[in-house]
Amino acid sequence: MQDPRAPHLDPRDLAADPFLHLAGRLVPGGHVLPVRVYYEDTDFSGIVYHANYLKFMERARSDHLRLIGVVQGELFGEALAEAPGFAFVVRSMQLDFQRPARIDDVLEIHTSPIEVAGASITLLQKVMCRGALLVEGRVKVAFVSQGRARRIPDALRAAMRAAQEEGAPG
């Protein structure tokens, strides 16, 4: 979590940082990240290579955390007293591919926490294009510290639950 003594921007104040929009936006129940499909994201046939959806979804999960006030870079060291050296690791992932995305499409990656448990968070992620569902994923991430699963610290749990329950105006 951000150090309350450190100067920082309110992550919901886009006017304070014109580049903050790169992290998407909080919406009621979660987060939406726009992603443009570039040539490098496609395969020989001009559609998005399946593994790149995982990258898009990872970016969305990271940006969701960023916008609710979790600075991941600070968490890898000793900054979090409750669980030093922590990381989130993907425990499981179920994907359902519906339709392909193509070069120059603008995708929206929707991320919604659906369960905040003791040592894990389950998220529903949807890759959308012009209102159509392309890929749906259910991702369970585990909280790990010093090589072992640990209870998610209360501050982080509260931030995730607030994002899950309230979101922010879109």
Active site residues: 43
Burial (CB < 10 A; 0-12, 13-18, 19+), residue 15, is exposed
With tokens 């304070």, the residue in question is: 16
**What is the bridge-based pairing of β-strands 30-36 and 106-116?**
antiparallel
Tokens of 169: 């105006």
The 8-class DSSP code of residue 152 comes to: P
The two beta strands, 86-97 and 25-27, are: unpaired
Enumerate the H helices of 9-136 as residue ranges.
50-67, 72-75
DSSP letter at 151 equals P
The dihedral built from the CA positions of residue 135, 33, 85 and 121, taken in this order, carries a sign that is negative
Q: How far is 66 from 62, CA to CA, in rounded Å?
A: 6
